[in-house]
Amino acid sequence: MKKTILTGIRPTGNLHLGHYFGACKTWLTLQDNYDFFLEIADVQALTDNFHQPDKINKSVYELTSDLLSIGIDPEKVHIFIQSQIPEIAELTVFYSNLVTMSRLYRNPTVKNEIAQKKAIFGSSGESVTYGFVGYPVSQTADITAFDGELVPVGEDQLPLIEQCREIVRKFNSIYGSTLKEPEPLLSKNPRIKGLDGNEKMGKSLGNAIYLIDTEEQVKEKIMSAVTDPNKIRKDDTANPDVCMVYYYHKIIDNPNLETVCQECKMGQRGCVACKKELIERMNEFLDPIRKKKEYYRNHPEEVKQILDNGTKIAKEKAQETIKKVKTSMKINY
Ligand code: TRP
């Protein structure tokens, strides 16, 4: 029996290098050996985009075709849409009695995200919605609806998995052993930095290279990437460790990396030449992804069919779970 993996991604935009090297590349290696459920978390995306339904709707298809373009195989992975599984919403309601408000506010992930919102919008805590504060509960439903045993996540998500485990233990202690306690599968890859040197690559930070960027866009972005500020002339010696161009040479596994590093340190390579090499290699890496994306753009009905199939399988599994849960809670009338 294969173990079950469940992970999710919010449909708020296209995939960028941060998603790919931080998370998706690991998913590609897992898809052969596990029963893999991949949730397009549209309900979760709506917790802070509830006023932008068109954006989320469009992103569901865009993101799915990006995932297919990088090689997620729908024969092996059940890609499904969260909102189409009402059992997840039901479980969320049942679990909401098993967690206190103070515990939710203390969750480091939620706490950070609220702090970020305040920093951006300068608003008081009053504008934080019930749905947003409660999203760890809904994420617990995402995981347990499919008996998720392993949850591949980045470090920032660990507190959510911990909270899920607490809710599961509480449920089982009150209603009898029913739910599986999941384990996180921590991504070994560090968070991918942005073109501007920011610790995080992100859409809202405007420092991302998207997997479907055109050659021209990639060129423009890499030409503007941050390099060692002490290197002014082409033959100045420099420190590759503070240069984003060198950083991406590393990320995309340039076979010529040692030379790039040495020549930079010795002042034998100018930044423009170094960027040109990166542009070429980056485009080589992205080209097959762009080609597949083009295919899915021309075959939207295929993307829809894949989502329908994945959602159907996910629904069957969630229905089994909700039956067990309702029996344990004695609400199986
Ligand atoms: N919260 C996750 C993120 O922002 C996405 C997500 C939704 C998720 N449901 C999940 C991750 C269930 C793991 C398991 O990246």
Check if 114 has its Cβ closer than 6 Å to any atom of ligand 1. no
- 161 vs 50: CA distance, rounded Å: 24
Q: Can you give the length of the chain in residues?
A: 333
Residue 184 pLDDT greater than 70, yes or no: yes
pLDDT-derived band at 162, boundaries 50, 70, 90? very high
The pLDDT tens digits for 54-64 are 999 999 999 99
Check if 65 has its Cβ closer than 6 Å to any atom of ligand 1. no
Q: Is 313 exposed, middle or buried (0-12, 13-18, 19+ CB in 10 A)?
A: middle
Contacts of 138 (CB under 8 A, 6+ apart): 43, 44, 47, 88, 89, 92, 131
CA of 256 from ligand 1 middle (Å) equals: 36
Residue 259 pLDDT greater than 60, yes or no: yes
Check if 88 has its Cβ closer than 6 Å to any atom of ligand 1. no
Contacts of 93 (CB under 8 A, 6+ apart): none
What pLDDT does 121 receive? 66
Report which ligand 1 atom has the smallest distance to the Cα of 9. Answer: 5
What pLDDT does 155 receive? 87
CA distances from 234 to 228, 240, 321 (A): 12, 14, 63
- 73 vs 41: CA distance, rounded Å: 19
pLDDT-derived band at 164, boundaries 50, 70, 90? very high
- 299 vs 222: CA distance, rounded Å: 31
What pLDDT does 149 receive? 97
CA of 9 from ligand 1 middle (Å) equals: 5
Pocket test for ligand 1, best of 153, 201, 203 (most atoms within 8 A of CB): 153
The pLDDT tens digits for 211-250 are 999 999 999 999 999 999 999 998 999 999 999 999 999 9
Q: Looking at residues 269-273, what average pLDDT do you find?
A: 94
Report which ligand 1 atom has the smallest distance to the Cα of 39. Answer: 9
Tell me the average pLDDT of the chain: 94
Check if 325 has its Cβ closer than 6 Å to any atom of ligand 1. no
What pLDDT does 125 receive? 53
Nearest to 162 by CA among 82, 104, 92: 104
CA distances from 191 to 104, 196, 218, 285, 287 (A): 25, 14, 20, 20, 23
What pLDDT does 126 receive? 60
The pLDDT tens digits for 84-135 are 999 999 999 999 999 999 999 999 999 988 888 777 666 655 678 899 999 9
Check if 151 has its Cβ closer than 6 Å to any atom of ligand 1. yes
Contacts of 259 (CB under 8 A, 6+ apart): none
Residue 204 pLDDT greater than 90, yes or no: no
Check if 211 has its Cβ closer than 6 Å to any atom of ligand 1. no
